[in-house]
Every structure is written in structure tokens, then in C-alpha cells.
């Protein structure tokens, strides 16, 4: 096991640091910005069907569901297609309206999650075409789907999913761009720009690691916090949910993720000087709005940790701590903004003496209903 951890203390931190490679591996052979090449082998025969379809239903659980939420923003923004994201466990026990030209995308790292598998069988019985985004080759979900794309993240051992999430988001981004190109919903210029920018993501993730020591210091300060709130908007909203899930599952600190604008509809009542609030505040189309959300929290003495874009000069003067991430295209933001949240939860859990790789009550793949 020591050898498998490659010199790291835990699988989770090894897997966090593997992300520049696992993201690159998930793009390898599929994307070449030089000659504007983008092709997902498994999608070839289905791209037309997807382009003609009125809606896509995405099913998954936990972190995979969060990747599905990112995909909702991606598919709607780029390919102008209706997307619904469903918890597999709810979807399967409802009587969902599925039509024959609906496409269902099932997302699963392990490919063995019982609820996701059951959701696939239900959608199949109603005539939908099922597309899988799985990490484990030959897994039950990979076999149950009509077609799919593997994520090539490599084995993920830590119960808390890290590199599988960024690999899922990478593959879903490629799918959304390929579909948008086919539908003609993005310009040739945007298409090329996105491919070029995607190729820079592994290096940008690497750059986030330069902040590891700073994130560790912040983790030390908040080791014994009892609650955390994570807030984000747009593409960063699913990242807020993912950050909160990471923290609660390995450190056992209660954490909530919310869309930042929802705060005023309830969670703002929780804010006081003992409440750490993590803001996803990168320079994107909701930046101004996020800045006012930060002001609302600071006015109530909340302690703010902000994930900001490199070179931001406004937010550092307003908050308690900042962690910088490199600038990227707005739709690719989750791939860099989630990294500091993974590190923050990891360091807090280690400082609390938790069993990071195998947290209590959790299994790596949930094969029971």
C-alpha cells in the first residue's frame, strides 16, 4: 500500500495531485487544438441523434451528480439543449416522463452504483438512448449503456472522489463542445478558443498546487470549525456543492453548499463571526453579484475564504483569506476552482485526525439501494 501511495500519506492527496495528468488523459486522442480536432469515439454514431434530441436527462449520485450539474450549464450554454439533472435514487422511484428520442447520460466513477444502474434500466425500458460516462472499464454501468465515453482518470482509491470529478467534467465538456459544433450553436472561433483553452487546463491545475502551503495554513485556522457554508453562482454553483460534500464526508464537519443568491432566502440567518463561508468568486459573468454577496456576509461578521482569479485586486481587500486560481474561460472554471476546495477539505480532515481515505459509514461504491 505504501508503494501504491507513491510517497504520499494518503490516496486522496495522491489523487488530487494526479489531476493534471488525469485531465490530460481524459482528453488524449480526443482533442487536438492545433488542427481543431475533437472526437469522442463512443459518441460518433450518436452525435446526430443527440443533436436532434429535445432534451437530455442526466442521472448520477453524489459527486457524479455534481458533475452532471456542471454538464447542465455546459450543454445549455453551448449546445442550447434542455437538460435535467436527476439524483438516480429519486428518478428511479418516480414515474419519470421519458420519451423515445430522449438521451439519458449516466455518470458514475465506479460504474457499480446500484441506484444509477436501476435508473438506466428504467430509462431503457421506456425507450431512451443511454450514454455512459464511467471511469471503470467494463463496469456494470458501462455494459448497461448503449454507448459512452470513459474518463481515463485511472484507479481512484480514496472514498472521496477528486480526480474522477475533474475527469468527468472534462469528458462532459468535450461532449458539449462536440455537440455544439454539430448543431452550429457556437461559432468556429469560440470552438477553436475552447479547444486551445482546454489544453491549458492541466498546467493551470498544476499552478493551483503552488497554493497548497497557504491552503494548509487556512485549514489549520479552521480545523475546529463546526459548520461551513460554500457559495457559488453559475458554473461555480455545482463546485460549491462539491466543496461542501468533500468537507463533510472526510472531516465530519457540517457543510452546506448553496447558490450564492439563495443565501438571502434562509442561510443568511446562520452567518455570525463563527461561520466560515467559502466563496467561489472567480472573474466571470457573475463576479459583481458575488462581490455583493461577499459584502452581505462580511456585514454580518462571517469569516470569508474566497477563491479568486489571479490578480484580483478588489476581493482580497474585503475578505479574510484568498486563494488564487488561474484565469480560464468561464465554462471551464470548475476544473480549476474545485482544486483548492479538495485541498482544503483534505488538510482539515488530516488535522482533525480523520481516516481520510476511508471515512466512517462510507463505501467507495454504493452497490446497495
Q: Are 76 and 82 in contact (CB under 8 A)?
A: yes
Question: CB of 161: closest distance to ligand AGP in angstroms?
Answer: 4
Question: CB of 104: closest distance to ligand AGP in angstroms?
Answer: 15
* Pairwise CA distance, residues 178 & 31, whole Å: 10
Rg (CA), the chain: 20
β 303-309/129-134 pair status: unpaired
Question: CB of 110: closest distance to ligand AGP in angstroms?
Answer: 3
* Pairwise CA distance, residues 335 & 345, whole Å: 17
* Pairwise CA distance, residues 45 & 50, whole Å: 10
**Which grid cell is 135?**
471511469
Torsion angle, alpha carbons of 264, 335, 198, 204, to 10? 110
Per the annotation, the verdict on 364 as an active-site residue is: yes
Residue 105, classed as helix, strand or coil, is: strand
* Pairwise CA distance, residues 223 & 352, whole Å: 7
Nearer to ligand AGP, 110 or 309 (CB): 110
Nearest to 105 by CA among 60, 44, 153: 60
Nearer to ligand AGP, 3 or 368 (CB): 368
Q: Are 45 and 91 in contact (CB under 8 A)?
A: no
Beta strand extents in 151-302 (DSSP E only) = 227-232, 254-259, 276-281
| Location of C-alpha cell 465530519 | 252
Q: Which of 126, 289, 298, 364 is catalytic?
A: 364
Question: CB of 175: closest distance to ligand AGP in angstroms?
Answer: 17
Q: Are 344 and 278 in contact (CB under 8 A)?
A: yes
CB atoms within 10 A of CB 362: 13
Question: CB of 109: closest distance to ligand AGP in angstroms?
Answer: 3
Under DSSP, the state recorded for 7 is: T
Nearer to ligand AGP, 26 or 116 (CB): 116
Question: CB of 364: closest distance to ligand AGP in angstroms?
Answer: 7
Nearer to ligand AGP, 61 or 186 (CB): 61
Nearer to ligand AGP, 195 or 350 (CB): 350
- Which residues are near ligand AGP by CB under 6 A? 61-64, 108-110, 113, 116, 159-161, 249, 362, 365-366
Nearer to ligand AGP, 299 or 368 (CB): 368
Nearer to ligand AGP, 51 or 366 (CB): 366
215-218-219 Cα angle (round to 5): 85
Q: Are 235 and 330 in contact (CB under 8 A)?
A: yes
Q: Which residue is nearest to ligand AGP (CB)?
A: 62
Residue 269, classed as helix, strand or coil, is: helix
Question: CB of 57: closest distance to ligand AGP in angstroms?
Answer: 16
* Pairwise CA distance, residues 287 & 351, whole Å: 32
Provide the annotated active-site residues. 364
Amino acid at each position: 500500500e505504501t508503494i501504491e501511495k507513491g510517497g504520499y500519506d494518503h490516496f486522496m492527496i495522491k489523487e488530487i495531485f494526479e489531476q493534471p495528468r488525469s485531465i490530460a488523459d481524459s482528453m488524449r486522442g480526443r482533442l487536438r487544438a492545433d488542427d481543431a480536432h475533437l472526437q469522442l469515439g463512443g459518441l460518433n454514431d450518436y452525435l446526430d441523434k443527440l443533436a436532434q434530441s429535445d432534451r437530455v436527462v442526466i442521472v448520477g449520485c453524489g459527486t457524479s451528480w455534481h458533475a452532471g450539474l456542471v454538464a447542465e450549464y455546459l450543454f445549455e450554454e453551448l449546445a442550447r439543449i434542455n437538460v435535467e439533472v436527476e439524483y438516480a435514487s429519486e428518478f428511479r422511484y418516480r414515474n419519470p416522463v421519458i420519451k423515445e428520442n430522449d438521451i439519458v447520460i449516466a455518470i458514475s466513477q465506479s460504474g457499480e452504483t446500484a441506484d444509477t444502474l436501476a435508473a438506466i434500466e428504467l430509462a431503457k425500458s421506456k425507450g431512451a438512448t443511454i450514454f455512459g460516462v464511467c471511469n471503470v472499464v467494463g463496469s456494470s454501468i458501462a455494459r448497461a449503456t448503449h454507448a459512452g465515453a470513459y474518463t481515463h482518470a485511472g484507479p481512484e482509491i480514496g472514498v472521496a472522489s477528486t480526480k474522477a470529478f475533474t475527469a468527468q467534467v472534462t469528458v462532459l465538456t468535450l461532449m458539449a463542445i462536440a455537440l455544439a459544433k454539430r448543431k452550429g450553436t457556437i461559432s468556429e472561433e469560440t470552438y477553436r478558443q475552447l479547444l486551445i483553452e482546454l489544453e491549458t487546463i492541466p498546467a493551470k491545475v498544476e499552478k493551483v498546487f503552488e497554493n497548497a502551503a497557504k491552503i494548509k495554513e487556512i485549514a489549520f485556522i479552521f480545523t475546529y470549525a463546526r459548520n461551513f457554508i460554500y457559495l457559488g453562482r453559475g458554473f461555480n454553483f455545482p463546485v460549491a456543492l462539491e466543496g461542501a460534500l468533500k468537507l463533510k464526508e472526510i472531516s465530519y464537519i457540517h457543510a452546506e453548499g448553496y447558490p450564492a443568491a439563495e443565501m438571502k432566502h434562509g442561510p443568511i440567518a446562520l452567518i455570525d463571526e463563527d461561520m466560515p463561508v467559502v466563496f467561489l468568486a472567480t472573474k466571470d459573468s457573475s463576479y459583481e453579484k458575488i462581490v455583493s454577496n461577499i459584502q452581505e456576509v462580511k456585514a454580518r461578521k462571517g469569516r470569508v475564504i474566497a477563491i479568486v482569479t489571479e490578480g484580483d485586486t478588489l476581493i482580497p481587500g474585503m475578505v479574510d483569506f484568498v486563494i488564487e486560481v488561474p484565469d480560464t474561460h468561464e465554462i471551464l472554471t470548475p476544473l480549476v476552482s474545485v482544486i483548492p476546495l479538495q485541498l482544503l477539505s483534505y488538510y482539515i480532515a488530516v488535522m482533525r485526525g480523520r481516516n481520510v481515505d476511508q471515512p466512517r459509514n462510507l463505501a467507495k461504491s454504493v452497490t446497495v439501494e
